[in-house]
Chains A and B, each alone.
Chain A
């Protein structure tokens, strides 16, 4: 199985901050990487697919980049509704696997 490791596991930030979350894969996954946002009691919501393609309806402050084993999610200017947990997920080879999550908290 491909192991996905996110860093940091949590972070504190203020509204307006630029935030970057990293996802490392145990082997190359090219750009077969998706990002999801989850708030408490809700299901995950797709933000980014194919490493950098923005899902319809997702604000442009979210962006994804990278390929191979090192991929990132960036929030250019953190908004109050962005405080949540973010997960990466590889779609390179089954079984599809997720990172352990990065919790973004209010500073």
Chain B
């Protein structure tokens, strides 16, 4: 069974960098059938896709966040990571990591972590 678990600080100060890690079990992040994604959900708002990365290091980013986001993947530890720089209160959200799967030309978020609330506040 595939499981994903986010970890990282729940409180970040404005202008600082938000850093989260997603540890994956039950499947290798090196699998060619998947990309590894980050999605966030601000309180009371729609979910927003942040970006994703495959094991070969090819990343796709939401243009709305691209200038502030860095994604990385560590195959030796079977995890992937997110960094968002220069955060503001607008970055307060529940952050999810997810497995983006391709099946017969169709794409979907097949598995999700439990989510972690990150609050930006001084």
Q: How many residues of A contact B (CB 8 A)?
A: 22
Place the interface of chain B in its size category. 20 to 34
- Report the bound CA distance from A32 to B107 in whole Å: 8
Q: Is the CB–CB distance between B108 and A91 below 8 Å?
A: yes
- Residue pair B48, A98 in contact (C-beta under 8 Å): yes
Q: With an 8 A cutoff between CB atoms, is A87 at the interface?
A: yes
- CA gap between A44 and B60 in the complex, in Å: 21
A37 to B110 Cα, complex, angstroms: 12
CA distance A94 to B96 in the complex (A): 18
The answer to whether A97 and B49 touch (CB under 8 A), given A43-B96, A43-B115, is yes
Asked whether A62 is an interface residue with its Cβ less than 8 Å from the other chain, the reply is no
A95 contacts partner chain B, Cβ-Cβ < 8 Å: yes
Contact of A66 with B by CB under 8 A: no
* A46 contacts chain B at the CB level, 8 A cutoff: yes
Q: Tell me if A's interface is mostly helix, strand, loop or mixed.
A: loop
Quick check: is B15 within 8 A (CB to CB) of the other chain?
no
- Residue A27 is within 8 A (CB to CB) of chain B in the complex: no
Q: Are B63 and A95 in contact (CB under 8 A)?
A: yes
A–B Cβ pairs within 8 angstroms, 16 of them = A34-B108, A34-B109, A43-B112, A43-B113, A44-B47, A46-B108, A46-B109, A46-B110, A49-B108, A50-B106, A91-B106, A95-B62, A98-B46, A98-B47, A99-B46, A100-B45
B interface residues with partner A (beta carbon < 8 Å) = 45-49, 60, 62-64, 96, 98, 103, 106-110, 112-115
Known: A49-B106, A95-B64. 17 other contacts (CB 8 A): A32-B107, A34-B108, A34-B109, A42-B114, A43-B112, A44-B47, A45-B112, A46-B109, A46-B110, A50-B106, A89-B47, A91-B107, A91-B108, A97-B49, A98-B48, A98-B49, A101-B46
